[in-house]
Structure 1
Amino acid sequence: MAAPLLICLSGAGATVRLGAAITLLWTHSVQKTEWAEDWRASAEGLTLTEMRIEGSGAGMEPPPDAVLQGDRYVAHPKAAPLPSLALRRSGATADYRICVEGRCTQMGDLLPAGADPVTLSVCP
């Protein structure tokens, strides 16, 4: 049986293997609302399977098919897989958090604090 594909986080010359699926958590810099995105590795690339959004505004609206569940809008995007996802770390908000199998870690604990941009991709 082939080993599962994993998602890698890379920046500032360092690469960390995360897992086959991750949750990426980030805070909108203007609205100060939390976004949670579930990503899965596949042979086609990174697939966004679900997003949970605390609120809307400042050009960051939930997708049209999002449904309000409790205090979050939940959506299941139908976008094609991406070869990679570039993340910028502006310092204007809290750092990204990465969750693997329910354990969350600040991105700064995985890569150097000054790593910018940072890339998520399927590990080679």
Structure 2
Amino acid sequence: MAAAAAQRGRRGVSLCLASAGVVKTLALASFTLAWTHSIEQTAWQEDWRVTKQGLELVQARVKGAGAGMEPPPEARLVGGWFQWSPPRNRLREVVLGNSGLAGEWRLCSADACRTLSEIIGHDIGPHPTTMSACSE
């Protein structure tokens, strides 16, 4: 616990989530974003790092292939997942839409996975959620 507090103090950034007029700040240096593809109903995961310069996608994984979710040629099959490391461009923000066809986005950290509605504190329904790095 003390190590996590020291890391937060040293980094000075957290993950901010904004949806339907609510903003939540999570003291995370990294997290996994998980969801189910709306057409193929296949699991997808992305590992993200929170930096002062923005959000950095570190690794992506998909549990199969299909419409709109073909892994790139450099992907490797590891433990039933196609995995690859995308180019590391930092993004100021990432907007997550919700079609309602495949369940909710889930945000996973060392503790557990929670839906965006659980984190925001109410059902986000069709409202988009914006992820960004924010100062503590």
TM over 0.5: yes
**Equivalences for residues 81-100 of structure 1 within 5 A:** 81-100=90-109
Correspondent of 1:68 among 72, 77, 89: 77
| Counterpart mapping for 1:1-124 below 5 A | 2-18=10-26, 19-111=28-120, 112-114=122-124, 116-124=127-135
Does the residue aligned with 2:10 lie in a helix, a strand or coil?
coil
Counterpart of 2:3? none
Deviation at 1:63, TM superposition (A): 2.1
Higher helix share: 2
Ranges in structure 1 where 5+ consecutive residues have no aligned partner: none
Structure 2 spans left out of the alignment, 5+ residues = 1-8
Q: Which 4+ residue blocks in structure 1 deviate beyond 4 angstroms?
A: none
What CA distance in whole angstroms lies between the structure 1 residues aligned with 2:12 and 2:41? 35
Q: Give the alignment's TM-score, normalised by structure 2.
A: 0.84
Q: Which moved more, 1:25-34 or 1:2-11?
A: 2-11
Choose 6-15 or 23-32, whichever is displaced more.
Answer: 6-15
Q: Any conservation in 2 of the 1:10–1:118 contact (CA below 8 Å)?
A: yes
Normalized against structure 1, the TM-score is what?
0.91
Distance apart, 1:41 and its partner CA? 0.8
Identity of aligned residues (%): 37
Asked if the contact 1:7/1:40 (under 8 Å) is kept, the reply is no
